[in-house]
Chains A and B, each alone.
Chain A
Amino acid sequence: MRIELDFLSVLAQWPLLAKGVAWTVGLTVIASVIGVALGVVLAWTRSQGPAWAKWVAGTYVELIRNTPFIVQLFFVFFGLPAAGVKLSPEVASIIAMVINLSAYATEIIRAGIDATPKGQIEAAMSLALNRMQTFVRVVLPPALRKVWPSLVSQIIIVMLGSAVCGQISTEELSYAANLIQSRNFRAFEAYIIATVIYLTLAIAVRQLLNWLGPRYLFGK
């Protein structure tokens, strides 16, 4: 038995793949920025907010962390229209990714916040910084620095998870692979190439964020 692989007929469709990569990266960037920002707010709520807000944030985090991303995505895309909210596949994908990432980011960032030595907060208070200033300038930067590697891993997990968004016809990378294999019946080759691209993206994103974080986000 001979197995013949034909990668060229897949690579010939490179404009589709390029478009897919652009969508995957775009979705990830948007979802990461909003998701991490939301994660910071929720982490603050969980560690310093009023009791009822703590409970709400905690329930949200546990609900999201204990259900699969694909179900969250289907709920947003198929379920919400029944409740009167109509969304395009792209918007539904971003919302689902933001929801998913923010829940994990909350737990990760909270771990960093909780590790802040008490003396630093007291020192900030004694310098007459208010609660907001203390959090944004004293607590948050070192907290982010401490948990940055975990946060980067989580962003990559969300990027890889976005492959599922092709199922609701968001035109990201896995959707492109699917489209190509439906045209030339080279399913295995198309998915191999998509997988290799994902792997490259994962490695590149990790390098980039590890470089970017200390420089622009929380100082050296």
Chain B
Amino acid sequence: MVEFTLWDIFRNLLEAARWTVALSLIAFIGGGVVGVLLLVARLSKAPGTNAFVGGYVQLFQGTPLLMQLFLAYFGIALFGVKTSAWVAASVALTLYTSAFLTEIWRGCVAAIPKGQWEASQSLAMNFREQLQYIVLPQAIKIAIPPTVGFLVQVVKGTALASVIGFIELTKAGTMITNATFKPFIVYSCVALLYFALCFPISLYAKTLEKKINASHR
């Protein structure tokens, strides 16, 4: 039997961690793009969009991410498309992330005083110009800390992709446990690696938040 040293375990987990990072980036960037589209749709006040986006957010925030992953996995297959864990995990996490981000950003836009909208309208700006020059530059400033904070949730969310067979940090941990029979050490290492990924992001988000609060006082 092959003996696994602590370094062997750690090295293999570290290699798997890059897929956690990759999936997080896909979900975060994809979710950001979809989130912006949903936000703009909502702000445009076109009939029905508010109810649609509201329902979309409620749907993804009110159901388990695990179920969303299963539905993406089996749902895409239903259309006769051959799915992989990669595709299903990317789709589900992108939609999940977009629902949270669009809601966070809506709050940030709502924090912009109404007078700003009215003033820009009285300068004959159209909807796109209002967003581009007046509202979004101010909203982005207050949106950055909670957005960075949410990145932590995305990284942790990718752990669930292990359940549909996506090989990332958690799945690698399970596989290595099955090979080494050292669950205590392996899962400690897994937790440690997640912590090493998430904690700096949390700290950064907290710093940004403090900065904004200081400038508002």
Q: Which residues of A contact B (CB under 8 A)?
A: 1, 3, 62-63, 65-72, 74-75, 78-83, 156, 160-164, 167, 174, 177, 187-188, 191-192, 194-195, 198-199, 202-203
Contact = CB atoms under 8 A, between A and B. Distances in A.
Tell me if B's interface is mostly helix, strand, loop or mixed.
helix
Given A66-B198, A195-B63, A74 B80 contact: no
Contact of A202 (B63, B182, B190): B63
A163 B162 contact: no
Interface string B60-79: 00111111101100110011
A195 B147 CA distance: 26
Contacts of A3: 78-79
A1 B162 contact: no
Contacts, number: 116
B67 A195 contact: yes
B117 interface: no
Given A163-B67, A174-B67, A70 B160 contact: yes
A154 to B, nearest CB: 12
B89 to A, nearest CB: 14
B20 to A, nearest CB: 10
A174 B187 contact: no
A161 B64 contact: yes
Q: Which 3 pairs across A and B sit closest by C-beta, in order of nearness?
A: A68-B159, A163-B64, A66-B198
Nearest to B194: A67
A180 to B, nearest CB: 12
Interface in B159-196: 159-160, 162-163, 170, 173-174, 177, 182-184, 186-188, 190-191, 194-195
